[in-house]
Structure 1
Amino acid sequence: YLMFDMDDGIVALKKQLIEKDMEIAALKKKLGQIQKANSLLTDLQDKVSALSPLKNTLTNDDILRYSRQLLLPELGVKGQMSLSNTSVLVVGCGGLGCPLAQYLAAAGIGRLGLLDYDEVELSNLHRQVLHTEKTRGLPKALSAAHALSRLNSRVECVPYHLKLSSANALYLIGQYPFMLYCSDNVPTRYLVNDACVLSGKPLVSASALRMEGQLTVYNHRGGPCYRCLHPIPPQPDTVTNCSDGGVLGVVPGIMGCLQALEVLKIASGQPSSFGQQLLIFDGQEGRFRAIKLRARRAECDVCGETPAVTELLDYEAFCGMAATDKCRRLNLLTAEQRISVQEYRGIVDSASPHLLLDVRPKVEVDICRLSTSINIPLVSLEERKANEVNLLKEKIKELKQRPNTDAPLPVFVVCKLGNDSQKAVQILEKMSGAELEQITVKDISGGLIAWANKIDPSFPQY
């Protein structure tokens, strides 16, 4: 009996040992995954280097992970293998780039190049869903790569913290079969388009602003490129981005998911739905509509029969604006027509009679305002709306009576950044002495953001 009890004890101990070995193996695997994810913190690319070819196979874990999409006849094992050996470059890890990269990683794309020169800010988080409060201040490309590695450690993420330029675009894009444009500035849009045409790559492009979004696939199966539709860049002062016009976070999320869908279809051998169509999403109405695009233009400068563009250009010079997603800074006035926030603070402290005119839309004034200002939106000045013009006349007349002087009343114009206020100064100068009493008009340079940064840190920024 004693021998029997000892044998049972040995068997039980061996069983426990096997279980512990399995636990250790599982912990080692988890540690390896964490270490791989954390290694991204030192793998940020600040220049373009050569990438090795992908040679992925489907493991048992992959089959289980992707089982629900493997069951689709449109995809199957062959399609999944194509995805796992496909590289995709995402230009812009923001409101569009985050959701599309998330779904591409979840679907098993083999390699994701993540390019962004910006860093994570608090104002990004309502729409850029890969970033968190803890990654504020980190490069967006790195923050995105770190989040994606936690989602799917099998996907190779290559974060690029660099500016896409004419010097590096062709070499970088040449290493990725698919390009996804998710940025928010005109020069980069033309740069990416031209580089894709010269490299023979399709470009899946989307945009989102306010409650609306657009998507199309350029340079695909004989379809047009971006230049076919927009041969001439827009004027700098007509371009609006999310920082200027706002955006509801879910809208770029929807458009980014649709971009991911088009890449997954094309990469797995299915036709794109938008090679010659523009998809327009109206979030306010909850509706989609597709517009058929004209065919490739034979006289297009980059993809036409006799192209004028055979190498990449200086796209900031071509477009007349900086290649940045930040709020643009216009320079419409001379130095004599502008004052700094410090100079305006001195005028306020001296109690010198003047009028402070805030030309932002009412929705922005509701967020924050300087208490002494009156609000007349720029659009009301442009359209000479009677009610607003009469309000301005009355206010000028009232203020001129206080010092009892015939001298022109000083009017200082403010907006968020000092862009719309410059336009307003030009309008008011034309109105002075004609539609209005004689006034002197100056723009407050840098607007309310400069006021918050340099004068009153408690003033809200948005």
Structure 2
Amino acid sequence: MTFCPTRSAQIDLDDNALLRYSRHILLDEIGIEGQTALSQAHVLVIGAGGLGSPVTLYLASAGIGTLTIVDDDQIDLSNLQRQIVHTEDRVGQNKALSAKQTLEALNSQIRIIALNERASSERLLELVAAADIVVDCCDNFATRHAINRACVASKTPLVSGAAVRFDGQLTVFDARIDGAPCYHCLFGEEGEANDGPCATFGVFAPLVGIIGAAQAAETLKVLMGLGETLIGRLQLYDARTARWREMKYKQDPICPVCGTQA
């Protein structure tokens, strides 16, 4: 039987939780209400590598109620240069299971589900529909589009990040909002865009931490309805110059995924 998690149940914050998350609760924009929302949330993270490492570490430490991690890859020695959720003694082990081990040591009060599998399109639909939000931490163009289609179909928010060489990018998609663009509006499948694997192009180690931490921040903001998220705004970061740029984009009216031709 294939396992599929469900959305988190209602959770009340006990005294230990109130102390643990007190620095969040002290923020007027978050408070107990916002922290409770995090404790009741179910986040699906696709990929437990360079981006998935900081994303899962920050989401676990922030008190996300249920964290599902999907990755069928094994840890290689070359991964340890940037994939900080893994350790030397786990080389050869599955990345999702390794991340679960680290995160449970960080926060034993949350539910962490590790899935050692490569999700097909149908499986992605099942997993995405069970989550409150999806964080795309994969490293290939085809999977990004498959995740996007599942998120549009189930109207699940999607936080997307990418990092290669010295360049990073970050944005948010939310199909719950009428007229909001999707990943395909920004990067069409028929184009030549390709982030490519780090094994081919290389990656500056702290870059994945910068982008991954920003992905975690956007995820928390969406779950709490906090501030202004990056819907319709693509952030571009150049680690060589330490400069951020931003470009705005809109829904493609004939997008085959979310437009009138879908």
TM-score (norm 2): 0.95
How many angstroms does 1:109 deviate by? Answer: 0.5
Provide, for residues 285-344 of structure 1, a one-character-per-residue CA deviation record: whole Å limited to 9, x for no partner: 011121111x2122110111231xxxxxxxxxxxxxxxxxxxxxxxxxxxxxxxxxxxxx
Partner residue, 2:173: 218
SS of structure 2 residue aligned to 1:167: helix
- Counterparts of 1:130-209 in structure 2, within 5 Å, are 130-209=85-164
Query: Is residue 275 of structure 1 aligned with residue 235 of structure 2?
Result: no
SS of structure 1 residue aligned to 2:11: coil
How many angstroms does 1:223 deviate by? Answer: 2.1
SS of structure 1 residue aligned to 2:121: coil
How many angstroms does 1:239 deviate by? Answer: 5.7
- 1:302 maps to amino acid: V
Partner residue, 1:435: none
Preserved contact between residue 12 and residue 36 of structure 2 (Cα < 8 Å): yes
Provide, for residues 119-142 of structure 1, a one-character-per-residue CA deviation record: whole Å limited to 9, x for no partner: 111110111101000111111000
Preserved contact between residue 68 and residue 114 of structure 2 (Cα < 8 Å): yes
CA distance in 1, matches of 2:234, 2:3: 32
Partner residue, 1:241: 197
CA distance in 1, matches of 2:83, 2:152: 29
Cα distance change of structure 1 residues 239 and 94 upon mapping to structure 2, 3 Å threshold:
closer
Preserved contact between residue 7 and residue 130 of structure 2 (Cα < 8 Å): no
How many angstroms does 1:55 deviate by? Answer: 2.2
Query: Is residue 253 of structure 1 aligned with residue 193 of structure 2?
Result: no
Cα distance change of structure 1 residues 52 and 182 upon mapping to structure 2, 3 Å threshold:
closer
Preserved contact between residue 116 and residue 141 of structure 1 (Cα < 8 Å): yes
CA distance in 1, matches of 2:6, 2:186: 33
CA distance in 1, matches of 2:7, 2:241: 46
SS of structure 2 residue aligned to 1:93: coil
Q: What stretches of structure 2 of length at least 5 have no aligned partner? A: none
CA distance in 1, matches of 2:55, 2:7: 24
SS of structure 2 residue aligned to 1:131: coil
Cα distance change of structure 1 residues 298 and 90 upon mapping to structure 2, 3 Å threshold:
same
- Counterparts of 1:46-85 in structure 2, within 5 Å, are 47-51=2-6, 53-85=8-40
- Counterparts of 1:267-346 in structure 2, within 5 Å, are 267-293=223-249, 295-307=250-262
SS of structure 2 residue aligned to 1:208: strand
Larger CA deviation: 200-209 vs 46-55: 46-55
CA distance in 2, matches of 1:239, 1:210: 10
Q: Flag the structure with larger Rg.
A: 1
CA distance in 2, matches of 1:279, 1:235: 20
- 2:232 maps to amino acid: Q
SS of structure 1 residue aligned to 2:120: coil
CA distance in 1, matches of 2:5, 2:45: 17
How many angstroms does 1:76 deviate by? Answer: 0.3
- Counterparts of 1:96-135 in structure 2, within 5 Å, are 96-135=51-90
Partner residue, 1:310: none
Identity within the alignment, %: 40
How many angstroms does 1:50 deviate by? Answer: 4.4
Q: Which runs of 4+ in 1 moved over 4 A?
A: none
How many angstroms does 1:111 deviate by? Answer: 0.6
Preserved contact between residue 262 and residue 272 of structure 1 (Cα < 8 Å): no
Report the aligned-residue RMSD: 1.6
Partner residue, 1:449: none
Preserved contact between residue 7 and residue 41 of structure 2 (Cα < 8 Å): no
Preserved contact between residue 48 and residue 168 of structure 1 (Cα < 8 Å): no
Cα distance change of structure 1 residues 197 and 52 upon mapping to structure 2, 3 Å threshold:
closer
How many angstroms does 1:235 deviate by? Answer: 4.7
Provide, for residues 182-221 of structure 1, a one-character-per-residue CA deviation record: whole Å limited to 9, x for no partner: 0011111110000000000111000001111000002353
2:186 is matched with which residue: 216, 229, 252? 229
Query: Is residue 95 of structure 1 aligned with residue 45 of structure 2?
Result: no
SS of structure 1 residue aligned to 2:122: coil
CA distance in 2, matches of 1:252, 1:208: 6
Provide, for residues 381-407 of structure 1, a one-character-per-residue CA deviation record: whole Å limited to 9, x for no partner: xxxxxxxxxxxxxxxxxxxxxxxxxxx
CA distance in 2, matches of 1:259, 1:80: 18
TM-score (norm 1): 0.55
CA distance in 2, matches of 1:254, 1:297: 29
Structure with greater contact order relative to length (CA < 8 Å, sep ≥ 6): 2
- Counterparts of 1:389-400 in structure 2, within 5 Å, are none
CA distance in 2, matches of 1:163, 1:274: 28
- Counterparts of 1:421-460 in structure 2, within 5 Å, are none
SS of structure 2 residue aligned to 1:103: helix
How many angstroms does 1:271 deviate by? Answer: 4.2
Preserved contact between residue 42 and residue 64 of structure 2 (Cα < 8 Å): yes
CA distance in 2, matches of 1:123, 1:154: 32
SS of structure 2 residue aligned to 1:302: coil
